[in-house]
């Protein structure tokens, strides 16, 4: 008589206990290409206590551009009194437009705009509204490159001068043809870079009121004119939903349905992508899986989502693997594990880019990012900031390289 294996429902009816399926590192589908959004220059630096020189910020972005990463958060047009580390973001933007860093591939530089005024300041700084650009060197002047950029070293290409007219430099379309554009020394097209904006909301009322002094509903209403104006200028818009897996005021039980509703609302407004953020690092594998189930159940496609994990409780990589299993192919991370949240006490940095890259590559994913270069940058910026390097993989790679 052939052996017949009872189905799980039959086993339960007989009183057997069935172990629930949990995530594993054996992916259901090929990991394929994964996009890394490097948030170190913005989310990574905004919580530092000491003042960060403009030269250091630009040097960080320049080095990151050479790793192969194609998306970099470069600054924030938030009021300096609230986030003083982002006070010179207009100068960072002006520099990137005038002196695009050499890179192996086009880069999308993202700037956070917390409200309509922030977007208007961004447009003014970019020259999109035909307003003069101001910087510490006077009106209508492109800032002089930091002195550290004036000489070549270990693969650096040195100073990049102005490449096009003001009008050409401020093109915002991400599909600019490189056919007639000037090229970088490495052959890539500088003017094929793009500039994007991002805006944020929060998944709990208490965090929203503490962070933006408004309710969730009011926050979403404030987003509408931002998205509308950005779209009228052909600027790609990225949305954030903060505290999606835990709130410093309301605890770890944030409603997945609420997160899904807010994400869908941002996409319906016209946002091109929404990054769902575990701002506090409270997320766990089961909670991440539950959240993704709610997002997909609301009709949101994986291609429209990114995941943003902080590593407060050491679960960021675990949660990223869960997201990868469920089809997410865009992840935010910060070189050297830089970061924190000024409105979430105790929240540590973002998942380190080096650690995330090592994990993704081990699972067969391709990112196009040079992990050794990223490790060197993590070590450099940590020393510049006078803080420990929070990337375990980065430190291991550097130890290996120093011994060979």
- The catalytic site residues sit at 341
Q: What is the DSSP string of 91-114?
A: HHHHHHHHSPPP-SS--EEEEE--
On the CB side of 195, CA atoms within 13 Å amount to 31
H or E element in which residue 159 lies: none
As a whole number of angstroms, the distance between CA 224 and CA 361 comes to 38
**Residue 270 neighbours by CB under 8 Å, 6+ apart:** 227, 228, 231, 237
Q: List helix spans (H) across 79-187.
A: 89-98, 116-126, 166-169
Secondary structure, 3-state, 22-85: CCCCCCCCCCCECEEEECHHHHHCCCCCCCCCHHHHHHHHHHHHCCCCCEEEEEECCCCCCCHH
- Closest by Cα among 200, 175, 202, 206 to 189: 175
Q: Dihedral angle at the C-alpha atoms of 313, 114, 210, 38, nearest 10 degrees?
A: 10
Q: What is the DSSP string of 225-271?
A: HHHHHHHHTT--EEEEEESTT-BTTTBS---HHHHHHHHHHHHHHT-
Q: Is 45 exposed, middle or buried (0-12, 13-18, 19+ CB in 10 A)?
A: buried
Q: What is the DSSP letter of 195?
A: E
Radius of gyration of the chain (CA): 22
| Residue pair 105/71 in contact by the 8 Å Cβ criterion | no
H or E element in which residue 341 lies: none
Cα–Cα distances in Å, from 289 out to 90, 186, 247, 307, 401?
39, 42, 18, 12, 37
Q: Dihedral angle at the C-alpha atoms of 355, 356, 358, 360, nearest 10 degrees?
A: 160
As a whole number of angstroms, the distance between CA 57 and CA 52 comes to 7
């Amino acid at each position: 008589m052939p052996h017949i294996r009872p189905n799980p429902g039959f086993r339960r009816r007989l009183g057997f206990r069935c172990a629930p399926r949990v995530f594993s590192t054996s992916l259901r589908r090929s990991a394929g290409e994964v996009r890394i959004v490097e948030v170190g220059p913005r989310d990574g630096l905004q919580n530092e206590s000491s003042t960060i020189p403009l030269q250091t910020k630009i040097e960080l972005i320049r080095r990151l551009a050479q790793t192969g990463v194609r998306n970099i958060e470069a600054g924030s047009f938030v009021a300096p009194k609230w986030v003083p580390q982002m006070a010179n973001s207009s100068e960072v933007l002006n520099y990137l437009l005038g002196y695009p860093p050499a890179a192996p591939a086009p880069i999308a530089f993202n700037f956070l705009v917390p409200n309509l005024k922030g977007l208007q300041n961004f447009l003014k700084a970019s020259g999109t509204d035909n307003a003069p650009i101001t910087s510490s060197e006077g009106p209508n002047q492109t800032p002089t490159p930091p002195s550290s950029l004036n000489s070549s070293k270990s693969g650096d290409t040195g100073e990049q001068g102005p490449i096009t007219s003001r009008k050409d430099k401020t093109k915002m379309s991400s599909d600019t043809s490189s056919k007639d554009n000037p090229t970088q020394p490495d052959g890539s097209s500088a003017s094929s870079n793009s500039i994007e904006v991002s805006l944020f909301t929060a998944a709990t009322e208490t965090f929203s009121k503490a962070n933006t002094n408004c309710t969730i509903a009011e926050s979403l209403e404030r987003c509408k004119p931002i998205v509308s104006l950005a779209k009228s200028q052909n600027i790609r818009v990225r949305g954030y939903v903060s505290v999606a897996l835990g709130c410093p005021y309301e605890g770890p039980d944030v409603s997945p349905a609420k997160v899904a509703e807010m994400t869908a609302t941002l996409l319906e407004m016209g946002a091109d992508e929404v990054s769902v953020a575990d701002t506090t690092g409270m997320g766990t594998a089961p909670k991440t899986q539950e959240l993704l189930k709610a997002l997909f159940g609301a009709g949101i496609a994986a291609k429209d989502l990114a995941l943003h994990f902080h590593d407060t409780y050491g679960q960021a990589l675990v949660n990223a693997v869960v997201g990868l299993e469920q089809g997410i192919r865009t992840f935010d991370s910060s070189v050297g594990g830089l970061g924190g949240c000024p409105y979430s006490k105790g929240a540590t940095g973002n998942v380190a880019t080096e650690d995330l890259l090592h994990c993704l590559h081990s699972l067969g994913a391709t990112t196009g990012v040079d992990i050794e270069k990223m490790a060197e940058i993590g070590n450099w910026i940590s020393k510049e900031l006078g803080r420990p390097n929070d990337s375990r993989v980065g430190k291991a790679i550097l130890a290996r390289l120093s011994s060979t």
